[in-house]
Amino acid sequence: MRIHVDKLASVTRNLRLGRTLTLGSEILLEEGSVIACKVRGEKTTYNQLEDPHGRMSTLHDGDILVGALGHRNALQGYEGVMPTSLKPGDTVNLLNMGGVIGQCLSHNPDVGKPFELEVLGQVLVFPEFQSRAGQPAHIRMGALKGTSLSAHCPVVYVAGTCMNAGKTAAACATIRQLSRAGYRVGACKLTGVSLMRDALAMRDYGAEVALDFTDAGITCTDARTAAGVSRIIFSELASHGVDVIVAETGDGIMGEYGVQAILQDAELMALSGAFVVCANDPVGAAGAVHNLSAAYGIKTDLVAGPATDNRVGERFVATLGLPARNARADAEALGTFLLNLLEPRLAAKA
């Protein structure tokens, strides 16, 4: 069946799909499989879809969209799993604005119930010239390859206690200051659920190249995939000749997106030139600093995020024996602190 689609989700970007597509009735039931669906109903909250260029557009009843199967475990969003079976006519849910599709199990009241989608079919691609035999589309097609870790430049890890803890703001402040100092910065988001927004923000702040796990063919990271994907991303960034990498881990250090697998990976942690913790409140800051030290032997270099929004929070962080910098109140101070911390290693590398 040939269809014309209204919306292509950013999760499908590796495939460079057009708007006119061929569908098959047999669904490839695995994460990353690309399917077409029809939107059922309207929403006034969490009602947008990000396209392969990073542009947001509002979804409406009857829109035909193309996304990819996957799961999600977001405290401030949706909990969703892969369907156990799937065929045209079945109902699934849109789990995030990047176009990840699955079966929703629970939701945060702030985002409302997810969109219901009617499955239309499996998107087919035709990679062999003049062949009429379509293959089930999957986001690993056109994804970054390789498994060896070839990065030798220092990495600034930016981790947090939860979603919306200020990680991207801290990462962007760091990128801007390093870039202004003349260093070539590579940036990445290592964990989370597929969405280009944060990587695009990193580019806006001066990163020469910015990648995330979807570039490596993953819709949503977990303990099985996070460390391996990090290796691929770091190696790709290093191949661009960057001097330093700023790496954000999506969600929290105790979440379900595989951050723990990265933290306990000795090879990945050996690349660390600085470790930033972003927290929403003092208890979160203290707990994160303690957990990183006790569970992984990781020393925190700087605390940022809403826990440092004013002097009250800064005084508390000082009781932990750590400096506090706030990306919203003084982004330059945050970036400068990390620049000064990194410069001896960057100078030695040069």
Place of tokens 């913790």: 277
CA distance 122 to 137: 7
Task: Name the fold adopted by 155-349.
Answer: Rossmann fold (3.40.50)
Task: Write down how long the chain is.
Answer: 350
Q: What local confidence, expressed as pLDDT, does residue 265 receive?
A: 96
Segments of 250-338 assigned E as strands: 272-278, 302-304
How many beta carbons lie within 10 A of that of residue 322, not counting itself?
Answer: 15
State mean pLDDT over 96-105.
97
Whether 127 has a pLDDT exceeding 90, the answer reads: no
Q: How confident is the model at residue 152 (pLDDT cuts 50, 70, 90)?
A: confident
Read off the tokens for 64: 């035909």
Q: How confident is the model at residue 350 (pLDDT cuts 50, 70, 90)?
A: low
DSSP code, position 327: T
Residues of the chain with CATH 3.40.50.300: 155-349
Read off the tokens for 169: 């703001």
pTM: 0.94
Q: How confident is the model at residue 130 (pLDDT cuts 50, 70, 90)?
A: low
Whether 342 has a pLDDT exceeding 70, the answer reads: yes
Arithmetic mean of pLDDT over the chain: 94
pLDDT tens, position by position, 64-85: 999 999 999 888 889 999 999 9
CA distances for 36 relative to 50, 68, 121, 143, angstroms: 15, 9, 6, 20
DSSP code, position 298: P
Whether 150 has a pLDDT exceeding 70, the answer reads: no
State mean pLDDT over 321-348.
94
